[in-house]
Structure 1
């Protein structure tokens, strides 16, 4: 086996892990693919004869690439760290393919990714690499060109934000599905009291409509306000399909055989604490949604 073939085999073995890192860093599946491809190009341009841990080296490279992408992305925005809904990973109910399982491991739901979107690039890198992938702070400090204590402080700040704003979902998928079905039924029936009973007092509803009528990003907080908004959901579609969104219970609303919205629910303690809705037609067309056809 020549050197090129050896590197290619090693890279392919680490590709799923690298894409998982990039997805958590960027919240975009296409940008994650681009970051992984850039890591492959850098691997080919670099003398790695002294590299003892190829996986660790590649993880560091992907981290640097993602950090640069985040900084450029934020520099283009009028409002730094402007929030939008990250790309959801949608799969058939009870079924997640092996590649997606790696992408959404460790309860990486949309609610967590939304919170990560609100972090600065350095905070996001420190938290993702250390807390989610166990990269030592010495390596993170090198990427950030900061001291180890400063890197630890960045991760600690991000960790507090995540714990406060992105509670872990109930692991019982059957319970999640029952709550979502009850939520849908109450929405269809126009039962405001039943909706409020299903919602956590601190529930947040986030909707990303893209450029539709200038709607853009909507965020609503509190059980009464979210229940009032939920009463309009019945107009989205008469054909809601149960799906998994990043491994959690969700729904796709459909009209004329086309997805109109992807809805993700975060259930904690049997209550809905977050609803995340992607209703941007341009982004929906780009997603790999294969749940609308037959088995």
Structure 2
């Protein structure tokens, strides 16, 4: 069917929300964009005049497309080279979606997006619809074709699974910035001890290179192991410069609502390091270096003015 300008306008009014929902469900901005476009094609093929509540219809179509995508993604990720981490989004990206409440901000944090991979597809969908977008169980049941009771059960199960792997951070932005700066100073000191003092005893470091950039296939665990790895990561070397095409500048920024470091060469991001900071120290480092997952962040980065870097690595 040919859409009228009003039909297009009705879809565009939901586009931003649909993109934010798809990103939380899939952990990939590029896949989220594809699913939003497919939802538009379904809208185009439907008889829009017979759809009483476009927002509900679009949400149902998009969510179920994401569920299908998650099912196939699980099989693909079994053959993924190394650790799989979500695609990071920089501060201000509209795909980050609503951030009015603590629950909404946490639902898109890099740590929670990584943990969401542990959930079954429907658990993930219920959690995102409820926690990030505040959908009542009645509407969630309609979207997923389940009962309200089943939706409540899936939500509580999801919350329990996430709580088991989540260390909540209660550190404000100013304190987080200070920790990031202390971390950079310690990481470039060439010594392990200053780094160890900044970390929690059970700190972890996980990297995603997607088989395109060298990254360890298993996480580093424990303060000493993580500190040793990070000291080596920031150690100068010609091979590292050749790998990324130069000496990257390092900036402190915000990704997915949390403290992060961006490494960029000539306006192109070559790595994003997300830090999970708690009152007891830095609990986790999650680094994304797969170039396929840095395209959107690089576009946003190149369009802005970020001043001088805190340092040049390598």
TM score, norm. by length of structure 1: 0.84
Which residue in 2 is equivalent to 1:106? 105
Which residue in 2 is equivalent to 1:261? 271
How far apart, in 1, do the equivalents of 2:267 and 2:98 lie? Answer: 27
Alignment coverage as a number of residue pairs: 288
Where do residues 203-242 of structure 1 align in structure 2 (5 Å cutoff)? 203-212=203-212, 215=215, 217-235=217-235, 239-242=249-252
Q: Does 1:251 align with 2:250?
A: no
How far apart, in 2, do the equivalents of 1:25 and 1:282 lie? Answer: 18
Which residue in 2 is equivalent to 1:20? 20
8 Å contact from structure 1 (residues 205, 274) kept in 2: yes
Which residue in 2 is equivalent to 1:63? 63
SS of equivalent to 1:288: helix
Pick the aligned partner of 1:277 from 282, 287, 296: 287
Which residue in 2 is equivalent to 1:160? 160
How far apart, in 2, do the equivalents of 1:39 and 1:292 lie? Answer: 29
Q: CA deviation at 1:125?
A: 0.9
Q: CA deviation at 1:65?
A: 1.1
Cα gap change, 1:77/1:182 in structure 2, threshold over 3 Å: closer, same or farther? closer
Q: CA deviation at 1:201?
A: 2.6
In structure 2, stretches of 5+ residues that fail to align are 241-246, 306-314
In structure 1, stretches of 5+ residues that fail to align are none
Decide which moves more: 108-117 or 138-147: 138-147
Q: CA deviation at 1:106?
A: 1.7
8 Å contact from structure 2 (residues 207, 215) kept in 1: no
SS of equivalent to 2:253: strand
Q: CA deviation at 1:259?
A: 3.2
How far apart, in 1, do the equivalents of 2:170 and 2:299 lie? Answer: 25
Decide which moves more: 117-126 or 71-80: 71-80
8 Å contact from structure 2 (residues 89, 96) kept in 1: no
Which residue in 2 is equivalent to 1:87? 87
Q: CA deviation at 1:196?
A: 1.9
8 Å contact from structure 1 (residues 179, 270) kept in 2: no
RMSD, aligned CA:
2.9
Decide which moves more: 215-224 or 260-269: 215-224
TM-superposition CA deviations, 1:120-158 (whole Å, max 9, x none): 212111111122222233343344444433332222121
Cα gap change, 1:168/1:284 in structure 2, threshold over 3 Å: closer, same or farther? same
Structure 1 outlier segments of 4+, above 6 Å = none
How far apart, in 1, do the equivalents of 2:83 and 2:214 lie? Answer: 15
Decide which moves more: 120-129 or 254-263: 254-263
Which residue in 2 is equivalent to 1:190? 190
How far apart, in 2, do the equivalents of 1:238 and 1:288 lie? Answer: 13
8 Å contact from structure 1 (residues 23, 32) kept in 2: yes
8 Å contact from structure 2 (residues 36, 62) kept in 1: yes
8 Å contact from structure 2 (residues 86, 114) kept in 1: yes
Cα gap change, 1:12/1:241 in structure 2, threshold over 3 Å: closer, same or farther? same
8 Å contact from structure 1 (residues 209, 217) kept in 2: no
Cα gap change, 1:238/1:43 in structure 2, threshold over 3 Å: closer, same or farther? closer
SS of equivalent to 2:206: strand
Cα gap change, 1:256/1:226 in structure 2, threshold over 3 Å: closer, same or farther? same
Where do residues 131-150 of structure 1 align in structure 2 (5 Å cutoff)? 131-150=131-150
